[in-house]
Amino acid sequence: MGMKRPICGACRHNLCAINYKRNGKTHYRSRCMACANSRRKIRQPDPRWRSKGYVKKKTCDLCGFRAKHGSQIMVYHMDGNLNNADLLNLRSICLNCSALVQRQSAWKVGDLIPD
């Protein structure tokens, strides 16, 4: 029994096209034929916070800045752990406040042992 046929990385809907078969093993492409023919780019995976249901706000939670474009606001993880996508851990802050928060936060203590 061989590998299952993967899903297209561009449309995430169709099955990937077969590239070639060698020694009884099938090798697949990263895209389906429709996406390969249309030269559609492979989509980046959604961030964890979006898949957990967090919606980025248009106003900064710290200073109240109202953004005209979504790129002026970023999602900030309060505990610094990017894998923690708990809704209570996420805040929408502007890029200016992001720089201030990073400057004010203390260095995290590493696991280094002095010589």
Residue 103 has pLDDT above 60, yes or no: yes
Question: Strand pairing partners for 15?
Answer: 7
Q: What value does the mean pLDDT take over residues 36-53?
A: 84
Of residues 45 and 52, more confidently modeled: 52
Cβ pair 6, 28 in contact under 8 A: yes
Confidence class for position 56, pLDDT limits 50, 70, 90:
very high
At 9 the pLDDT is 84
- Helix residue ranges, H only, the chain: 33-38, 48-51, 95-104
| Global pTM value | 0.58
- Position 63 scores a pLDDT of 94
